[in-house]
A and B are shown apart, each in its own frame.
Chain A
């Protein structure tokens, strides 16, 4: 979800009029109240994937409104189509020795976080300062590891998502509910299934499901990259996907190049199955009239991948104090509950509701989901951990070299 294709313009326009970068060490020596006073009256530049209007509105209007009202801080949301663009900006600035960077916060996970951590581009060690961090269970392995990379206090969790498939009950009453069934279904229904070509984020996640199935389950792939294991599983995976190819849309001669294209093809009845890393998107598409009322998202009996997404503060952020205040606000029970409302976004929370106020607990208990969206509980019964970033890059490159050419 955080990696989408297209151009970005004007991102650097916001660099004008920067103050000196705030010294992170000095902030870490302050009390929370002192940090808030330092941040007051400032601004914070948040770079995030901007492809969904409801998410943009939640951040700009709801979160931005609270930040302005309570702290007199202006939130500038800079839309990206690919999170790597923001990482590139930070990398360029740090290489050029720019102390006061344009980017104060990035919505991130997976390979991009690993890149930032490896290149020392992420500011670390501030999480204990955030009062609302107490609401999060940092011992949960699904939160302590971002695609297998230990978080180590270098980013703060924001939402949980789990991969789900979708079908139209009117058109395809009995969709395949496991990866082997899906492969057989695609062969029996030529031209009615396809997946976006990696490096598309969601397409690559679909390939990881097949890869995990071939490996005999996620347990076989836990841990650091293992070349021998990869070679063994990869060869069989490419064989399966190459055998599947003639049964795909356009006989597999080409693949959709983005998840947006697959969404349009499902809406236009060119294919019968859709999948997404954010099942709430299916409800949004029904509300917007893109998908029919009879569209439903569902999980697989052999499990679907789940991951957490985070907010990271770059090491050279110019407005670190304001970024800390924003991190704390994003983690508050009220902001997490608002984000979980189906008509706002429907994003699964990263906090433990029973650690929040009674009002927030009651709110989470009363959440209603869109009828087209599979319940988190149902999906969560079979959740697969994401593979480490070395695995995901190797699988992407391997697909491009062996299947997608």
Chain B
């Protein structure tokens, strides 16, 4: 019967899942952030405490930096890779397979890989030590648990470039060669055809894919907890610390921080779409 009834009827099962699991979690989290504790009642205490805490703002700034830098780099590199991979060349199938192979690797595993590769006792540091370039782990530049979150951003870029690339490749496939070919036949150079015709056509897909990458890298916990510095922690790590604090009074603050993550993420993505729509 799927597809015959009213669209809303067909969508109902999926919408129910989203409404109950996602909406329900969001509503409970929001309620928890206004909770005054086990006695019941409502209060803004947790929000006031969270918003007046310098640590929260420093964590927010770090998370914004991580998400913006990861998204920008992943979009740029993903676009470049997609443009290269769309042409046919010998071994193109193999190249595409290698390009997308890390999509299946879980984030936590990828983050451990980054640790083994980039940390001060990691593979690169050992190579440098073996080659006599450095005389101890501390001499290797700090690329994980570092002030600029280089390890975290490196992980997200490594993981998300194929994601962006695949979405753009699928998009280019459905656009076909016609728009560019038409521009070329009117005398545009290949570069001008790409910049003035193909890129604007790809923009909506790039912004959508970028929004997904932004939301994930802004709100995910497992990568910064493995690769991040101790202070300030990324905002999701701070929320988790409050949630697992033995003091029950910290629970509403954990919920308020989680809601702050959702709110900032939603507002920024809304702004990106709105900016596109003008």
Which residues of A pack against B, CB within 8 Å?
Answer: 3, 5-7, 82, 84-85, 87-88, 91, 95, 110-112, 114-115, 119, 191, 197, 199, 249-250, 253-257, 264-265, 268-270, 389, 393, 400, 404-405
Contacts and interface: CB of A to CB of B under 8 A. Distances in A.
A119 B38 contact: yes
B231 A269 contact: no
Contacts of B229: 253-254, 257
14 contacts: A3-B244, A5-B240, A84-B243, A88-B243, A91-B248, A191-B138, A197-B230, A199-B241, A250-B138, A250-B142, A250-B145, A254-B229, A400-B231, A405-B231
A7 B106 CA distance: 14
B106 to A, nearest CB: 12
A405 B145 CA distance: 15
A239 to B, nearest CB: 18
B147 interface: yes
A114 B221 contact: no
| Chain A CB within 10 A, most for which of B145, B225, B232, B233 | B145
B225 A257 contact: yes
A26 to B, nearest CB: 27
Contacts of A114: 246
Contacts of A7: 221-222
| Chain B CB within 10 A, most for which of A249, A250, A393 | A250
Contacts of B230: 197, 254-257, 404
Interface in B213-253: 221-222, 225, 228-233, 240-241, 243-248, 251
Nearest to B122: A268
A241 to B, nearest CB: 13
Interface string B102-120: 0000000000000000001
B55 interface: yes
A115 B246 contact: yes
B147 A84 contact: no
Interface in B114-140: 120-121, 137-138
Given A199-B241, A270-B120, A270-B138, A111 B225 contact: no
| Chain A CB within 10 A, most for which of B137, B146, B232 | B137
Contacts of A95: 38
Contact of A6 (B145, B225, B241): B225
Contacts of A269: 121, 137
Contact of B55 (A91, A110, A256, A405): A405
A191 to B, nearest CB: 5
Contacts of B137: 268-270
Cβ-closest 7 pairs across A and B: A268-B121, A111-B246, A254-B229, A197-B230, A255-B230, A84-B244, A270-B137
Nearest to A6: B225
A290 B240 CA distance: 29
A115 B247 contact: yes
A112 B246 contact: yes
A404 B241 CA distance: 14
A270 B120 CA distance: 8
| Chain B CB within 10 A, most for which of A7, A257, A265 | A257
A37 to B, nearest CB: 37
Contacts of A197: 230-231
A255 B120 CA distance: 14
Nearest to A389: B246
| Chain A CB within 10 A, most for which of B55, B221, B247 | B247
B271 to A, nearest CB: 30
Given A115-B246, A256-B230, A257-B233, 18 more contacts: A3-B244, A5-B240, A6-B225, A91-B248, A111-B246, A199-B241, A250-B138, A250-B142, A253-B147, A254-B231, A257-B225, A257-B229, A264-B121, A265-B121, A269-B121, A270-B120, A400-B55, A405-B232
Contacts of A256: 145, 230
B244 to A, nearest CB: 4
A323 B206 CA distance: 55
Contacts of B138: 191, 249-250, 270
Given A250-B142, A254-B147, A269-B137, A115 B248 contact: yes
Nearest to A251: B138
Nearest to B40: A95
A191 B246 CA distance: 32
Contacts of B233: 257
Contacts of A270: 120-121, 137-138
A404 B240 contact: no
A268 B120 CA distance: 9
A119 B249 CA distance: 12
| Chain A CB within 10 A, most for which of B38, B222, B244, B245 | B244
A125 B162 CA distance: 59
Interface in B131-170: 137-138, 142, 145-147
Contact of A82 (B121, B145, B244): B244
Contacts of A112: 246
A268 B243 CA distance: 32
Contacts of A257: 145, 225, 228-230, 233
A111 B247 contact: yes
Contact of B245 (A119, A199, A253): A199
Contact of A393 (B38, B228, B247, B251): B247
A97 B142 CA distance: 50
Contacts of A85: 244
Contacts of A250: 138, 142, 145
A111 B249 CA distance: 13
Contact of B246 (A254, A393, A404): A393
A85 B137 CA distance: 36
Nearest to A258: B225
A34 to B, nearest CB: 35
Contacts of B145: 250, 254, 256-257
A82 B221 CA distance: 15
Nearest to B254: A88
A5 B230 CA distance: 13
Contacts of A393: 246-247
Contacts of B222: 6-7
B29 to A, nearest CB: 13
Contacts of B241: 199
